[in-house]
Amino acid sequence: MVENQTSSAQQPAKAAGSAHAIDLKKVSKAFGPVQANKDIDLTVKRNSIHGIVGENGAGKSTLMSILYGFYTADSGEIWVNGQLVKIKDSSHALELGIGMVHQHFMLVENFTVLENIILGAEGEFLLDSSKAKARDELTRLAKDYGLDVDPDALIEDLSVGQEQRVEILKALYRGADVLILDEPTGVLTPTEADQLFRILEQLRDEGKTIILITHKLREIMAVTDTVSVMRQGEMVGTIATADTSPEQLAEMMVGRRVLLRVDKTPAKPGDVVLEVKNLSVTDEIGVPRVKDVSFNVKAGEIVGIAGVAGNGQSQLLRAISGMEAPLLGDVRINGELVRFEGDDSAAKVREMGLAHVPEDRLKMGLVTQFQEWENSLLGYHDSEKYGSGPFLSVKDAIADAEKRIEMFDIRPRNPRLKTANFSGGNQQKVVLAREMDRELDVLVVGQPTRGVDIGAIEFIHKQIIELRDQGKAVLLVSVELDEIRALSDRVLVMFDGEIVTELAPDATERDFGLSMAGVDPKEGA
């Protein structure tokens, strides 16, 4: 079935003399009043790694969803292997040889690799015979593309990098010739990311076509052959990667010159403001996530916590900010012990001078169905500033929100608008403005620029450094290693709930790679 499709599809392609795997012509897609894609032209050459970059909301994911059959384009043509097609749904896309590796893996945790790979493509009534066939095919694929995974291993026992390989194998097993990868390195250590790139190169050399969606310019430079830049739903341009630079790409993405480097002076650390001692935290089902962690943050310095997502950073943040009582250990702010009693410790911690920008603004930092001004007082709603006694002064709260909208250049400039209607970057500014525009001694900030556009990243980084220069202590937790290195004065690397080592922000890539995988480079050497 699959072979029929591709062979018949290849005929006209060759007749037309086209070496294009994908050709999009004037593809448009609107969601109500929002034009997500506008007259997009995109040509992807066969046997190439084609990068697509753009800020959040530039329309990359929508475009790929159209190609994968998840959305239907309002207008425009899609040519696959030189043949005009109308992609009905994702199984149709697969028949055409287009496979997708999602940002969030779609695997059944307590199934084996083999079972996951045949899931949805079992083929026959009896499982055993299709399993045997799949095993042969899997061995062949693993050999051809260097994708080594034990077919009988349970998914829950695999590392994130291995899980991703299973996702790629899944797509290949279903006959994908064109692989779309959506932000594939978000959950990987630098070493794992490099391994992924080697796999992608091998796939290309074996005749596959790769489309890589990412917002990390470093990855584009490292692995792609060609790169297309999108901005505000439009295609800005396509260039050979060899002919461009990260600075040029950033300029194309934002539409103006941006500073990729953060300028800052050396830190002048003062007294210890935040002290964490022998802290252990378990998650909601009782699994230990933070194990005996101790560190401190001094006034006037930024301490970064690096590490791959899911190594206990979330639970560490929750405990420090008073959202979760730790199992063991102490948190002190200005020498004062935080008492975890009741379920409103976060309010007490705020009163002690800690401001918290949570790592997930949509889940924690904001109530998206609230109007902007209502989010501008979240956590500070009991303040006399927003009305005396039990009453809430809407007028005062709106005036306060308007002031912050001005200070942090939040757009649109309307505090009466529902927060869900703001872009990711502006939502983050709402949170940041709320937490920074007050008396504070220590700012705890998680993933400050996740899902935030480059222009806003620049602004947010500047604000954080300014705060440090005012003599405040900053604890920065981020999975973006570049961000950690650019902002921090000291870096602690977290792995499996423990702090592996402390590194200088200018330590080598190798040291970061090793420690993020749990090996202390100082001991290893």
Partner 1 sequence: MSARQPLPNWVTIVLMPALNVLLAFIIGGLAVAMIGENPLDAMWALFYGAFGTGMGWGFTLHYATNFIFTGLAVAVAYHAGMFNIGGEGQAYVAGLGAIVVALWLDQTHWTLVLLGSTAAAMVMGALWAIIPGWLQAKRGSHVVITTIMFNFIASAFMGYMLVQVITAPGANAETRTIAEPGRLPLMSDWFDAFQYSPLNITFFFGILALIFTYVLIWRTKLGYKIRTLGANPEAARYAGISAVAVIIIAMAISGALAGLMAVNEAVGVQKRLVVGYVAGVGFVGIAVAFMGRSHPVGIALAALLFGALYQGGQELAFELPAVPSELVLIIQALVILFTGAMGEMFHPVLERIFAKKIEAAPEEATTSTGEA
Q: Nearest distance from residue 358's CB to partner 1, in Å?
A: 6
Q: Nearest distance from residue 331's CB to partner 1, in Å?
A: 15
Residue 429 engages partner 1 in binding (rule: CB under 8 A) = no
Residue identified by tokens 């702010």 is 333
* Secondary structure of residue 477 in the 3-state scheme: strand
Report the residue number, 336 or 466, with the smaller CB distance to partner 1. Answer: 336
Handedness of CA 215, 221, 227, 232 (dihedral sign): positive
Give the span between the Cα atoms of 492 and 477, in whole angstroms.
10
Q: Which of residues 436-465 bind partner 1 (CB under 8 A)?
A: none
From candidates 307, 358, 415, 513, binder to partner 1 by CB under 8 A = 358
Q: Nearest distance from residue 50's CB to partner 1, in Å?
A: 22
From candidates 51, 57, 99, 175, binder to partner 1 by CB under 8 A = 57
Quick count: other Cβ atoms within 10 Å of Cβ 282?
19
Residue 392 engages partner 1 in binding (rule: CB under 8 A) = yes
Reported residue count of the chain is 525
Report the residue number, 323 or 507, with the smaller CB distance to partner 1. Answer: 323
Residue 17 engages partner 1 in binding (rule: CB under 8 A) = no
- 145 token code pair: 């593309």
From candidates 68, 197, 422, 512, binder to partner 1 by CB under 8 A = 422
Q: Nearest distance from residue 87's CB to partner 1, in Å?
A: 18
Give the span between the Cα atoms of 61 and 63, in whole angstroms.
5
User: Which residue stretch of 179-187, 288-296, 357-365, 456-464 sits at the interface with partner 1 (rule: CB under 8 A)?
Assistant: 357-365
Residue 414 engages partner 1 in binding (rule: CB under 8 A) = yes
Residue 232 engages partner 1 in binding (rule: CB under 8 A) = yes
* Secondary structure of residue 422 in the 3-state scheme: coil
- Half-sphere CA count of 97, side-chain side, radius 13 A: 23
- What is the rounded radius of gyration, in angstroms, for the C-alpha atoms of the chain? 25
Residues 6 or more apart from 225 whose CB is under 8 A from it? 45, 48, 49, 50, 204, 240, 241
Residue 286 engages partner 1 in binding (rule: CB under 8 A) = no
Q: Nearest distance from residue 323's CB to partner 1, in Å?
A: 5
* Secondary structure of residue 450 in the 3-state scheme: coil
Give the span between the Cα atoms of 212 and 224, in whole angstroms.
8
Binding site for partner 1 (CB under 8 A): 31-36, 57-59, 62, 232-233, 321-323, 342-350, 356, 358, 363-370, 374, 377-379, 381-382, 386-387, 390-392, 394, 412, 414, 417, 420-424, 426
